[in-house]
Structures are given as C-alpha cells and as structure tokens.
Structure 1
C-alpha cells in the first residue's frame, strides 16, 4: 500500500515539476519576445545614427538625418511591437488569413481572394516613383531587422505554433488594401440591394425606404435633398407579398469618424484648430501606433517634426501635425465602385458582350491552404471590368469595377508629401495625388487657413449615376478614367471659418454628383458637431474635446416623446406604467447608469425593425447570395430613422405594415418588444436594464477569442462606456474612437491625444494598456510624447 501511495506522490510530483518547468520556459520565452527599450543597436543600413526615446506610455520620438533612416527605424519598432498585427493585416487583404488561423477564416479568405490583391500589389510597386520606393524598401528592411532582433518569436506565434514570414514591399501595399476592405464595399452590396428593392418593392417604395439623406443632414454648403414622396400604393394589396418572417434586421452602422477645424479668427491661438477621432473596430492592440518623427538638417535644425499616428505595416504618419499644418481623416463614403451586369451572348454562356464585341471570361485558379486542413482550389472569373462577384435574380453575372483594383489606389508619394506640407492649400492639392481609401481630409495651418476635400482618384462616370447595377456592353455607360484634380470638390476658408465632416453627406448639387451617391452615414453626428461649432465664436483645445465627448442622444429625443406619450395613454396597463418614470426622466444622454436611455433606444430600434421587416419581406425572396456564397442579410439602411418617423407622424392607413391593426398597434408592439428585452436581458429587473449593461467595451485580443483563458491577461477591462453610435462620442461594443486628438499646428505642446489599449501588443510590456483609462474617461492627456524614460541609439557601422 505504501508503495502505491509513494508511487502516486512521485507521479504527481513529477507532473508538478514538469508543469512548473513548462510554465517557466513559456514565461522566459514570453519575456524574450519583449521589444528592446534601451541600448545600442548596430544598423549598417542607416546613413547616420538614429536616436529613439520612449515615454512612460511607450510613445517613441525618432530623431535622424534622413527620411529613409527614419523609415527603417520605424519599421524596426513596428516589427518589435506589432508584427502579429501586421501579419494579420497583410494576410486578410491577400485572402491568406486561414493559413495562420485555420478554417475559421476560410470563408473570409474566399471573399477577399476574389480581388487578387497580392497580384495587384505588384502592379502598384511597379508604378512607384524611385523616392517612394526608397522609403518603402528602407522600411521593409527595418521591419525584418526588428523581427530578427527579438529574443524570441512574437508570443502570438508561440500560441499558434507558427513561424512569422519576413515582411515584403508587397505586404505594405496589402496593408493599405486592408483599409480598403474595411472602409469600402468589396461586393457592391448597396447597389445590389437597391436593385433588388426596386424589382421587389417598386420604385416609389424603394425611394421612400432607402433615402439618400434626411432632415438631419448638415452639409458644409447648407444644401438639402428633396425628401421622397410618401408611396400611394396600398402595402397590403401588393401581389405576392410574403408575410414578415419576424427576424430582426441588422442595423447598418458606418465605418466612420469625426473631424473638424476652425480658422484662426476663431482660435484663441490665432492658428487653425483641428480635431479628429477615427471610428473603427477596436481590438488589442489598437490599430494605430503613435510616433514622433524628427528629421534634422545639416545645420542641426529641424527639417521635419511630425507627431501623430502610424499604421503598423506602413512607413508614414497617417494623421497628426507637423508644426505647419494639422490634418485628420474621416471615411468619405464616396462612390468608388460599380456593379456591372455582364450581358451573355445568346446560346454562348461562355461569352459576354463588350463595346468591342464578345469576350471570354478569363478564368484563374487560386489555391487556399488553411492551417491543419486540406488545400482547396478557388476558381475566379475575371472580366474586362473586374472580377465576377455574383449573379442577379435573372442569373446574369455581376462584375465589380472598383478603384481599389487600379494602381492609382495605393501610393506612398501623397502621404509623404503631406508630411512636409506647410499650408492648408498645399495639403488640399496633395490630397488628389494620394493613394489611400477615399477620405474626407480636413486640414488647418498655422496661418489660420482651413480646408476640406476628398482624397485619391475618383471615377469619372458617363451615362449613369452608379446607384444600381447596369450593363456597360454597348459603350453608353462606364468610366472614362478619373476626375481631374480641379474637378474634385474643395472647400477652402468658408465664410463662417468652420469645417466639419462625420461620414454623412458633405456637399450637394454637382459636387455630390461627382463624389457619388454612396451609403452615407446618418447626419445626426454631423449636426451635433456643426451646432457645437456654431455655438461659440472663440475656441481652444478643451472646447474641441468637449464636442468630441458630446454624448447627448439628440436623435432619440423625438422617439422618447413618442414612447412616453404612448405609455401614458396605456398607463392602466401596469407594465406600461412601470416604464413611465424611467422614460420620463431618461436624461437624454448615453451614460452607463441610465435606464431610460436604453429603454428609448430599444423602443426606437424595435419600432424601425417592425416597419422594415414587414416592408422589405419581398426582398428576401429569391435574393441571390453575395460574394463568397454569403447569404443576403436583412438590414436597416443608415437613414432608416427618417422614413419610419415620417410614417408615424403622418400615419397613412394604406401603409400600415402587414399584421398590424393600425399605427398605434405598431407602436404598442415595439413597447412589448422593449418589455421582453427587459425580461430577457435583465431578468425582468428594470433597474438592471441600464445603458452601461449593454454598451460595454468588449475590446479583445484576437487570441483571446480563440483561447478564452488568455482573456484575463490580454484584454483590457470590459467596462461600460459613455456614448452611442449616433452622437459625436461614438462608442459601442468593440467599436468606437480608435484615437482622439485636438491640435493647433505650431502649438502641439497644448494639444490633446488619447487612444484605447496601448502602444504595445505584449502583455509583459511596462506600458501594456497604459493610457487606456484616459481614453475611457475622456481625459485630456498630451498630444506630444512625454518625458523620455527609455533610450536607444541605432548606429551605422
């Protein structure tokens, strides 16, 4: 008996020792993969020494003698801090993510591989100017040196049992393509849905349900769009109308941002003030990497001193200030793509018509090889106008003409020129030579000038407006190249010396026709920003931060009044009566402890859902799949708020949704759905149905999703957030401001900056998640890096 007891103890002891040894080994390998923070580094690729100092948050200041040396050093830092992020970005754009992550991302790879971006990256590189290629090649070399100089493979690869591949110039181009995929449509879904709606619902109802603007629009030129007429046909008498399925629609939110500027006459410092917060999906690490680049000239002076955010994978500052100008971006939602109907030749399905005659589709095969699974062949068809992305209800193939497929879509030249621009006027001219996803550029300079335009080449359409798919077969419709720079709309020093954008419509008339009728964001954010800028005649940085942190739910005010009116009318119902106090005293702000805000927001969503689910039921009958075999999804357009409000204001009897007695019944059903939400999501406890319970950060490391046990070590606290999607302080689960800054060019020392998570991806870093709470709380922390805490010097041999 003693023998067995002793043997068991020995076995358990050995297991414990092995576990301890394994854990110790893993810990030391993890520590070995930490980035270098101090010391001297031999760097024979450099022309002169480069000094890097980091502050307590890990924000580096790079001081060197050439732009290529700074690019090399930035590449070194990016690789040491963020290589796994960079690897994921290049693989996502190339449709190769499953090679690292396995079959969980295989369908996404199928969708993205259709665009063959790795092949297109080679064409972009071939078109680059020598000076941009010199900077890019230096960056690539620095990335690979930084990766090699780590004491161990980045920790993410230890978890995935994988080895990182070296960085290439093509990979930097793919990094930009990743932003195209994130900020623009890769499958023409908006055009295809509208065509489907027109066929299924008819023109008048489609125009009403899918408006291109609303009464909330706040464009810079003050223009308005005519509101679509109320449909006069009886919705209940539409032939073949299926009953609504009861499935909830998905509310379409915009990949967006806020930016604005005021001229020097409105600034306490006499120079322009620029504010920017870019709204993206949030994760660990944050998408941006802060940096300050200082380029000293031969005399020891500063030829370039630029501070802002970089995108790991690319060698430039994306947004920030160089002391002469400051600039920021928001997604423009310019219409930069078109779905082309391929007309088949009679009895020859292998041919399609073009203005030059019938052509064969080119067929290529791409090989997808997910980790730990068999490879598969993905057949792709290419037309004269782009890849085939699907079919319509008639079985006709759709091709996709997208600026992202053209070499002009990506370059470094424009953004590198912007780094050195000294006036807002110069920056606006540079914008049209840039190669990035089409952005609203807002810029201000030290002389007090401000301006806006849209970046990057814009398609020049003829014969059609781009709203729905059309055939280009007879040559009467298509693109005739790109708009000339002087044709792209520009606003410079407007009379009121205020400029603002928030992903909604910025201009109207001919200017809008040139930019295109894209899927613009709802105008509520832009309106609140505009009103905040018009409320004062003198601003400083703190005033701008206050606008960025505006969490008033002004869009919901009319819905709160409607809900309260109906609750009071039905107050004999104890369930209705129970909601009245919280709804009445809702506060009007998206704050975590507000029950009333969440009630009103839920009520609005359920009410809009009810109308659109009923009205758009015919769209879901026989709708073809999107690219990659993805099924079509019911959805709420970004402007859905306005049509439903008009219906509830006018209450036309002939448009009462199928399944409801009258409009009061529609409203009551939304209240019942809200009560159900309280019962299900808060266990029936109204006091627990707070906005903060629904609006939590949910910012996660990709590995924490795959290996839940890592969440405790990798993720920041999942705390409730102030803000919502339709106000300047945009915040939602896993989405929100990826950075916020306010800066006056020439006065960067009084600027403000914060961002979620932190500079580093490494959980053992001394500044892991340092600064995150400043972002959560909206604290005014400095734009410039703080006092140096760590110092490195890179020496050429």
Structure 2
C-alpha cells in the first residue's frame, strides 16, 4: 500500500510541476504592455498607448518607424497567426502541423508562391522596401523580446522561425487563396455542365445572375429560357437528411456609402462588414497610427484594421476619407487547355510552336515524416492544375501569379489619400486580391470601383476553358485604368456592394463573368438605403444588423400552401402554426425560420441532385459520405423557383409523379431533418440550434482539451447567409464598422474575439460581447490604460 501511495504521490507531484511549468511558460509568452524598449533601428521615438481592449495608438515621426513598432506589436500578440498565414500561402504548413496538412501543401505548392514572393520583393521600389524591411525588423525584435515563444509552439513542440520580408508578400497571397479560386472551378464547372447537360439546361441551371441582382446601374441580365429538353432529367436521388444548407457560403462582405447630402454631418458615411472565416484570434488587429513630423509637415492620423503580417491599415478612416472592401468575384483567371503537339508527344502547342512543359521540383518536408519531392509542371501560361474529361492537361492563367498582384505602395498611398476621387484612382494600382472599393470623403463625395489590375482578354470572354495554342485567344496585358468601371457621386448619392454583380452591359464584360454571390444581400441593402433620405451612424448599423429573411418569404408562402393542403396529415399539422408565425427573421428562437430555410434547401437540393446526375459520371465513389452534397449554383434559387411555379411537364425529374410531389418531398425531407437533428422535437428545431457560432483557436484541433481555455462560448446567432447580417457557425463579420471621415468620434466598430489570442491577456475576448449582441461600440480607441515608449 505504501508503494502505491508513493507512486500516486510522485505522479501527483509530476502533474503539479508540469502544470506549473506550463503555466509559467504561458505567462512568459504574454506581450509587454508597459515600459521602454530601446530600438536602434528607429529614427525617432514612437509612443504606444493601449486602451482597455488592447487597441494601440502609435505616435511617431515617420511611416517606417510606425511600421517597425506595428510589426513589434503584431509579433508579440499574433505571431502564431502570422506564421500560419505565410505557411498556408507557401505550402509549408505541414512543417509545423504535420502530415494532416500535407494534402493542402501539395495543392498550394503548385503555385510556388514562395519563389514568386521573392520576385515581388526584388522589384519593389526603395520607399516600399523601406517600410517593409522596417516592419520585418520590428516583428523579429518583438518575437525576441517575449520571455518565451508564443504559447502555441509549446504545445506543438516547435520553434518559431524568424520573419522575412517576403513573408509579408506571402500574407497577401494567403488572401488570394481565401478570396479567389486557385483551380478555375467555376469555368471547369461550366464546361462540365455544358458537356453533360447540353448548353440550354446548363445555362438555365447555372445562370450568371438573377432578378435578385441589385447593381448600381439598375441593369438586368438576359433571363435564360426554359430548356426544351424532353428526356429524363436523371434518376430519383436518394433521400438525404436535410440540414438546410445547399449553397456554399461566399466569403465576402457588405459595404456601402451615402453622400454628404444624406448624412446628418455633411460628410459621407461608409459602412463595411468583411465576412470571413471566424477564428481565435480574429484575422484583423485594430490600430490607430498617428504620424506627426513637425520638421517636414508630414501628418497622418488613421484608424482601422490591420492584417498581422503586413504594415498597413486595410480598411478604416484617415479623417479625410473612409473606405472598405468587399470581395468582387470578378474573373481574374482562365483555365487554358493544353493541346499535345501530336499524339503521344510530351510537347504542347503554343503560338511560337511546340514547347515542353517545364518541371520544377518542390521539396515538402512534413513534421514527423520524411521529405518528399513534388514535381510541378509549368506551361507558358501557368502551372498545370489537372486534366479535363478528355484527358487534356489544363494550365491556370491567374493574375495572382503576376507581379502586379502584390504591392505595398498602393495601400500606403491609400492611407494618405485626401479625397474619394483620388482614392478611386489609386484603387487600380493596388496589389491586393480584387475588391469592390467603396469610399467616401469628408466633403461628402462617394464612389465605387474594382481594385488591382484586370486581364485584357482577346478572342474569348473567359467563361469556359479554351486553348490558346493558335494565338487567337489569350491575355493582352491588363485593362488600362480608364477602362475599369467607376461610379462617382451617382445621382441618388448611394453606392453599395455585397459580392454580387455591381454593373451590367459592357462594364460587366470587362470585369468578367466570375463566381458572383446571389443578389439578395445587395438588394436588401439597396432597398433600405433607398427607403430613407437621412442617415447617421446608427441608421447604418441597423442595416448591418438586418436579419430579415426576404429571400425566403415566397418559400414560406409555398410551404404554408402545401401544409394547408395536407392539414389532415398528422405529421404536417404541427408545422402550420410555426410556419405561419415564422416572423420572417433569422433569429435564434425561431422554429419557423429554420423550417422554411430547410424546406427551400431540400427542394433546391432534390432538383439539382436529379438534373446533375450526368455531371457525376466518373466522380470517385464517396462511400463514407452519407449526405452527398448536391452540385448546385450560387444562383440556384431562381431556376428552381421557376420550375416549381411554371411546372414544365417535360422537365419533371424522374421518379416524381408531379411538381407537387417534388415540393412534398421537400417537406418530407424537412421532417426528416427535424427527426435527425432535433430528436423529433419540433420546439427544439430552432434557428439558434443550427446557427451557433463555433469560433475556435486552430490549436484546439490538435489539443482539444484547450477548448475551454481558448474558445469563446458557442452562442446562438441571428442572421444567415442571404441577408445583411451574415452569420453561419464558422463565417460572419470579421469586423463591422460605420464611420464618417472627420467624425470618427461618433463611429461604430465591432470585432469578434479580441485583439489577442492569449488567454491570460487582460483584454482576452474584450469587445466580443459587443459583436455578439450588435451593441454599438466606439470606432476610435478609448482612454489609454497601458503605455510604452520605443526609443532609438
């Protein structure tokens, strides 16, 4: 017994000492909040004042000095995030995370962004490189000044590598992966649909937009005609347990602005929500940068969000202009069919004659495993990304591969811009993933355009993969700035975007036929902006928090109609009061909203499942996937609505006796969802039960026991993917602000999680509750609580 007690005591002591060591290491990785840091690389002192939420105000005499100190703060608060971003872009994550990331690394290494980043760096102008080198120097000093490495490395049993200037370029490339296609899937899907379904049915099922579009120019796209195909539309699909989620979430955002004639202050007002994946820590880091050089008269006072890994303010206000971004989804890439020079040849045809593919060997070293060599094939137009159904190799011409895709000088210039007109001109010189820029200035001017260089195509429109072998098709550089659509001070003094089509006609053709989001969000925003003639910041916040399910209203009517028709059915009767009194809003307590949403998704899924059977030919078996996701479209709502209301007999999917049977099958699947997801308890089938925020630190995937320490509580959320208040379990507003330039003191700001990912920080999760509840919080940092000085 004594030996057992001794062993237990020894084990207890070991656990205690291990816990104390881990806690000590955890505390040692906290950032410095007060004191003086000697920084010989600075030209003059820089003061840092943090408020109670950890938001810093940096005051210095040069932009390079501010970049150095911002890099220091980023490293101390967010280095693990920065490390992950550069590794994601370079295809090097498995070096840190192990073999679980190996497949992703292979896919991303095809683009060889590490070598491209070095080329971008080599071409930078001196002023740009000065700021970038200063930032990298601050990052590495901040990392060294931690008493212990960021705590994540302790659990991963790894050591952080120093930050290189090229890693900032990789940080921008990470956003290209997040916001654009790296494999041309939209073009490839169009081609597959046309080949498998025929051009008429493919155009109908995969339209480029719908009547829900709300472009700034009020343009309409031609409505695809109802197909005249009379053959069977495919076998009856298997019954899937419904989850109410068919369309994929479009990573993007909402932004809009109203001119000074409509604001209470006389300045323009800009609102911006950038919808991205939610995580701990949040993608953005808030900061205020004040540059005041009395000797040269150089001044800058800018507040907004920064991206750890880069030295600039991404979106915010400098007192003269305010700006925000949404992902544009314009067409910035093309899939090029490589034609063999002759049968069995390894050469491919080009306008200059047959050429061999270049092969580059990329070494991938996964943690805990042997290194492997990946052979990347490079064509004249880009890397080989796969083969088509005919076995032809496909190359990818993507603007992200070009030097024009990344530069720092454009964002640094935007920070200093004094007017909306000048900001729109700078937009075309930015080197970031292509965004809808919405800007307003202190004089009340507003405008919109698309950022960054855009391809100048010739011989084709970019909708489908084509061969460029004979020289009749391709890119002829980039559009001239004056060719890029711009809207400035429109007559109604309002601009808005929400990832859907923004313009029509010739302008639409120049931007390209990308993977635009459904127009419901943009339409809901537009309608609210047009419903008023006077706005202040809180009016804008109310639009940002709009959770009305306008898109679902007609589906609620359809569901209710069919439920009434089957009111005698014992399973249907309980649904009627919930659907009838659904409230029309995506609020957590609503059962009716979730029923309507699930019903709509199940009808869409059933029809697309049936029609796209020929597109699945040759797909690998998915034996372990019991809930086969349908091949569908971001614009699927309208084609399906037309089918079930116009009821073309010749297009009735196989296995159904009538269109009523299709709708009733959707109701049956909705009941199946209630049974499988709520245990058959209708009252538990609330929207909040499905739409709980699951915001997680990536480390908790590796060490689940850290969830209680690192992750915020799983809160039911209002909002959905089809309305201004975008919300899903893992996606939502990564920031939300409203600001009138020159009136930042009355601006509003929300951000999930907090400035830091460190659980022992005094401001861990500070501000998160404001984001959850939609409570107005200040745009500017509050009163200083901690102060630091960086001395040269």
TM norm. shorter chain > 0.5: yes
Please state whether the residue corresponding to 1:206 is helix, strand or coil: helix
Please state whether the residue corresponding to 1:697 is helix, strand or coil: coil
In the superposition, relative to structure 1, how do residues 388 and 245 fare at CA in structure 2: closer, same or farther (>3 Å)? farther
- Please tell me whether residue 109 in structure 1 is matched to residue 114 in structure 2: no
| Counterpart contact for 1:330–1:503, Cα < 8 Å | yes
Q: 1:589 aligns with which of 585, 593, 607?
A: 585
| Counterpart contact for 1:362–1:383, Cα < 8 Å | yes
Q: 1:570 aligns with which of 549, 566, 574?
A: 566
| Counterpart contact for 1:591–1:723, Cα < 8 Å | yes
- Please tell me whether residue 70 in structure 1 is matched to residue 71 in structure 2: no
Name the structure 2 match of 1:451.
447
Name the structure 2 match of 1:492.
488
User: CA shift at 1:103, angstroms?
Assistant: 1.0
Within 5 Å, give how 1:150-165 maps onto structure 2.
150-165=146-161
User: CA shift at 1:299, angstroms?
Assistant: 5.5
C-alpha distance in 1, partners of 2:235/2:389?
17
C-alpha distance in 2, partners of 1:214/1:468?
20
Name the structure 2 match of 1:315.
311
C-alpha distance in 1, partners of 2:752/2:481?
36
Name the structure 2 match of 1:326.
322
- Please tell me whether residue 699 in structure 1 is matched to residue 685 in structure 2: no
C-alpha distance in 2, partners of 1:59/1:137?
24
C-alpha distance in 2, partners of 1:623/1:519?
22
User: CA shift at 1:242, angstroms?
Assistant: 5.5
- Please tell me whether residue 231 in structure 1 is matched to residue 233 in structure 2: no
- Please tell me whether residue 403 in structure 1 is matched to residue 399 in structure 2: yes
C-alpha distance in 1, partners of 2:756/2:369?
32
User: CA shift at 1:250, angstroms?
Assistant: 4.8
| Counterpart contact for 1:272–1:447, Cα < 8 Å | yes
Please state whether the residue corresponding to 2:120 is helix, strand or coil: helix
Please state whether the residue corresponding to 2:349 is helix, strand or coil: strand
User: CA shift at 1:498, angstroms?
Assistant: 0.1
- Please tell me whether residue 764 in structure 1 is matched to residue 760 in structure 2: yes
C-alpha distance in 2, partners of 1:684/1:314?
50
| Counterpart contact for 1:393–1:623, Cα < 8 Å | no
Name the structure 2 match of 1:629.
none
C-alpha distance in 1, partners of 2:618/2:643?
28
C-alpha distance in 1, partners of 2:567/2:213?
36
C-alpha distance in 2, partners of 1:349/1:332?
40
Name the structure 2 match of 1:628.
none
| Counterpart contact for 1:251–1:635, Cα < 8 Å | no
| Counterpart contact for 1:392–1:624, Cα < 8 Å | no
Please state whether the residue corresponding to 2:8 is helix, strand or coil: helix
Name the structure 2 match of 1:436.
432
Within 5 Å, give how 1:319-398 maps onto structure 2.
319-398=315-394
C-alpha distance in 2, partners of 1:66/1:34?
28
- Please tell me whether residue 176 in structure 1 is matched to residue 172 in structure 2: yes
C-alpha distance in 1, partners of 2:553/2:311?
45
Please state whether the residue corresponding to 1:327 is helix, strand or coil: strand
C-alpha distance in 1, partners of 2:620/2:712?
41
Name the structure 2 match of 1:33.
29
C-alpha distance in 1, partners of 2:293/2:106?
49
Within 5 Å, give how 1:714-729 maps onto structure 2.
714-729=710-725
| Counterpart contact for 1:235–1:656, Cα < 8 Å | no
Q: Deviations over 1:16-42 (max 9, x none)?
A: 111111111110110000000000101
| Counterpart contact for 2:280–2:711, Cα < 8 Å | yes
C-alpha distance in 1, partners of 2:29/2:631?
44
Higher mean C-alpha displacement, 80-89 vs 292-301: 292-301
Q: Deviations over 1:147-189 (max 9, x none)?
A: 0000101000000000000000110000000000000000000
User: CA shift at 1:246, angstroms?
Assistant: 5.3
Q: TM-score, normalised by structure 1?
A: 0.97
- Please tell me whether residue 482 in structure 1 is matched to residue 478 in structure 2: yes
Find runs of 4+ consecutive structure 1 residues off by over 6 angstroms.
none
| Counterpart contact for 2:607–2:653, Cα < 8 Å | yes
The size of the alignment, in residue pairs, is 783
| Counterpart contact for 2:277–2:732, Cα < 8 Å | yes
| Counterpart contact for 1:294–1:302, Cα < 8 Å | no
Higher mean C-alpha displacement, 299-308 vs 390-399: 299-308
C-alpha distance in 2, partners of 1:480/1:448?
38
Within 5 Å, give how 1:670-709 maps onto structure 2.
670-709=666-705
C-alpha distance in 1, partners of 2:664/2:87?
49
Higher mean C-alpha displacement, 532-541 vs 362-371: 362-371
| Counterpart contact for 2:235–2:655, Cα < 8 Å | no
Name the structure 2 match of 1:98.
94
Name the structure 2 match of 1:139.
135
C-alpha distance in 1, partners of 2:307/2:408?
13
C-alpha distance in 1, partners of 2:111/2:223?
37
| Counterpart contact for 1:196–1:623, Cα < 8 Å | no
Within 5 Å, give how 1:2-41 maps onto structure 2.
5-41=1-37
User: CA shift at 1:349, angstroms?
Assistant: 2.6
In the superposition, relative to structure 1, how do residues 593 and 300 fare at CA in structure 2: closer, same or farther (>3 Å)? farther
Name the structure 2 match of 1:88.
84
In the superposition, relative to structure 1, how do residues 243 and 589 fare at CA in structure 2: closer, same or farther (>3 Å)? closer
Name the structure 2 match of 1:787.
783
Q: CA RMSD in A?
A: 1.3
User: CA shift at 1:251, angstroms?
Assistant: 2.1
C-alpha distance in 2, partners of 1:386/1:637?
27
Q: Deviations over 1:694-716 (max 9, x none)?
A: 00000000011221110000000
Q: 1:195 aligns with which of 191, 202, 209?
A: 191
Q: 1:540 aligns with which of 511, 536, 539?
A: 536
User: CA shift at 1:213, angstroms?
Assistant: 0.7
Please state whether the residue corresponding to 1:167 is helix, strand or coil: coil
Please state whether the residue corresponding to 1:345 is helix, strand or coil: coil
Name the structure 1 match of 2:498.
502
Q: Deviations over 1:340-378 (max 9, x none)?
A: 000011134300000110000001111111111122221
User: CA shift at 1:578, angstroms?
Assistant: 1.2
In the superposition, relative to structure 1, how do residues 526 and 342 fare at CA in structure 2: closer, same or farther (>3 Å)? same
Name the structure 1 match of 2:634.
638
- Please tell me whether residue 604 in structure 1 is matched to residue 600 in structure 2: yes
C-alpha distance in 1, partners of 2:158/2:253?
35
- Please tell me whether residue 419 in structure 1 is matched to residue 403 in structure 2: no
| Counterpart contact for 1:410–1:435, Cα < 8 Å | yes
Tell me, which stretches of 5 or more residues in structure 2 are unaligned?
A: 622-627
C-alpha distance in 1, partners of 2:216/2:368?
53
Q: TM-score, normalised by structure 2?
A: 0.98
| Counterpart contact for 1:245–1:617, Cα < 8 Å | no
C-alpha distance in 1, partners of 2:529/2:425?
26
Tell me, which stretches of 5 or more residues in structure 1 are unaligned?
A: 626-631
| Counterpart contact for 1:294–1:304, Cα < 8 Å | yes
In the superposition, relative to structure 1, how do residues 246 and 96 fare at CA in structure 2: closer, same or farther (>3 Å)? farther
Q: Deviations over 1:709-740 (max 9, x none)?
A: 10000000101001000000000011000000
Q: 2:215 aligns with which of 197, 219, 226?
A: 219
Please state whether the residue corresponding to 2:518 is helix, strand or coil: coil
C-alpha distance in 1, partners of 2:231/2:522?
34
User: CA shift at 1:7, angstroms?
Assistant: 2.1
C-alpha distance in 1, partners of 2:325/2:452?
13
